[in-house]
Amino acid sequence: MVRVSSFGQVRAWLATVTFLGLLAGTGLGVAYASSFSCPTNFFEGDYSKEGAAGIINDGSSAFEFKSWAWEKDNTKYICHCVRNLAANPARIEWKEINLSGWPRLQQTLFSMYSYEANGIEKRNTTIEYGPNNNPKHTTVPTVYPKISIKKQNNPDKHSDSIALAEYTETKGPSHLSIGRISVPNSGAVKGMTDDQIEKYLAENDNALSDFYMEFRSGTSQNDGKITGLTFDCVYEISGGEMSIIGFKIADPKVQMAIFNSDGPVFLRMWGSGGNRMSGELKIEATSIDHLETKTSSMLIVDEDNKILGSMPIVFFADQTKK
């Protein structure tokens, strides 16, 4: 376990314009996506044209979900949003999407990514909610990029059909993943069960921290050959000044490339601001044809390595190394 008071390059984000400038300056690409938020109404407007939405209310839990696709500035996006409609913070996990957290009343968790495919399709996925020892489940329609027949034997891996997303601000192909979740302060809930966390948050919802992340996977090149896989993450945490969040990437190679550690890294927030972390995996000189796209998860954990929240990340891998 690694603990730091700051990680990478820290800058104050005074406004959206400042944030967009930071992305352009670091080569992270599309400015539009960085200002993204889920729609206020999941059932009206352009957001309802290509997607699925619904409300779940069983008397004790209530939330709404939205999954849809759209195009902006010649780039295609898919997004999944889930909003808590209950009075108290509750654990919600969109299983196949790898999106989870503890949203407050009217707070929205979301994950979005860029893709390139010949259309979209809808599949049934599962949203789990409530404590892990007694969870409830509901099946919901979910938008995915349309995959080829030969890849339909593995339908839960939406990464198989995400093609290369190229942006003018980046050199070469890249993948972009964006998400926002809310999680308990890992120090405050250490050793607690989900039931205990729910009771604690019902009385202390200020113990929740909001986590926003933009994750880009790209390549480094030399003489026209790809020599490395790059990972760049800009993120922001908002919460109490003593909030602690632990990061861990489920894929061990990406975890080691970014954190140089096989264990979680803990960050204590001393105020609002943005952070950046990055890393690179060296590979044998190859071409883009030898790369594959994979998905993993950015996990938010407590000091006992219990997962408090997660969001998917999409990245390149060297398919010649199995």
Q: Specify the amino acid at residue 241.
A: E
Q: What are phi and psi of 63, to 5 degrees?
A: -160, 160
The SS3 assignment for 133 reads: coil
Amino acid 14: pLDDT: 22
This prediction has a pTM of 0.79
| Token reading at 49 | 């044209």
The count of other CB atoms within 10 Å of the CB of residue 41 is 11
* Per-residue pLDDT reduced to its tens digit, 95-134: 999 999 999 999 999 999 877 667 788 899 999 998 877 8
Sorted by where each begins, the domain ranges of the chain are 2-318
* Per-residue pLDDT reduced to its tens digit, 154-193: 434 433 333 333 333 345 678 889 999 999 988 788 889 8
Dihedral of the CA atoms 9, 178, 204, 243 (nearest 10)? Answer: -10
Which CA distances in Å does 244 have to 184, 219, 220, 278? 9, 32, 33, 20
Amino acid 236: pLDDT: 85
Closest CA to 212 of 269, 256, 167: 269
Amino acid 101: pLDDT: 96
Amino acid 48: pLDDT: 56
Amino acid 250: pLDDT: 94
**Which residue positions in the chain have pLDDT lower than 50?**
1-34, 148-170, 271
